[in-house]
Amino acid sequence: MISFGCEEAGLRGAYRYVKEHYDELVKYDAECVNMDGIHSKDNISIVDFEPTTRTKHSDVVVQKIINAAKNSEIKLQSSMLGGSSKLEKLFGQITGGTDATAFSKAKIKAANISAMDLKQMLGFYHQPTDTVDKIEKGSLENVLKICISYINGES
């Protein structure tokens, strides 16, 4: 398990990690379930494509996340921050990238889980008011349930 932070420009930490640990990631057939923007308990989604970085994530990991969410009885929503539909690609042009990008670009299986209510997020996301009190009760717990199901192979 690994966590990246600090929203550094260009996903530098994630790219450096993948470069430094590439052989180990390949040896163990690692999979990356990245979590970015966990805010809303009712708007959990999977980002399978990131338009700004032109990154297609792993269909295998996406399906495992979908299955893990079903097994956890947590409903997934369509992603507005990235994704492979036309609307998601259009809106995704103005978004940034997630740390899953560094893994997918290196052919390490990866995908991203987000949990954002865009109507609310536009008022504080990546601004000085983007503080922990904006995280809805239950959002971290729901994403954790999905991840535990994923890790336990219930996906």
Q: Check: CB of residue 31 under 8 Å from CB of residue 115.
A: no
* In the chain, % of residues over pLDDT 90: 59
Superfamily holding 31-151:
Zn peptidases (3.40.630.10)
Q: What is the mean pLDDT of residues 61-67?
A: 96
| Among the listed residues 112, 108, 110, 109, the one whose alpha carbon sits nearest the alpha carbon of residue 95 | 112
pLDDT tens track for 87-143: 555 555 556 689 999 999 999 999 999 998 888 888 888 789 889 999 999 999 999
12-40 b/e with 16+ CB inside 10 Å = b?
ebbbebbeeeeeebeeeebbbbbbbbbbb
pTM: 0.86
Parallel/antiparallel/unpaired status of strands 44-47 and 31-38? unpaired
Q: Name the one residue in this structure whose structure tokens are 């997630």.
A: 98
Per domain, the residue ranges of the chain are 31-151
Average pLDDT over the chain reads: 87
Task: Compute the C-alpha angle 108/149/15, nearest 5°.
Answer: 25
pLDDT at 81: 55
Kindly indicate the confidence band of residue 150, based on its pLDDT and cuts at 50, 70 and 90: very high
Kindly indicate the confidence band of residue 85, based on its pLDDT and cuts at 50, 70 and 90: low
Kindly indicate the confidence band of residue 15, based on its pLDDT and cuts at 50, 70 and 90: very high
pLDDT at 117: 87
Q: What is the mean pLDDT of residues 24-35?
A: 96
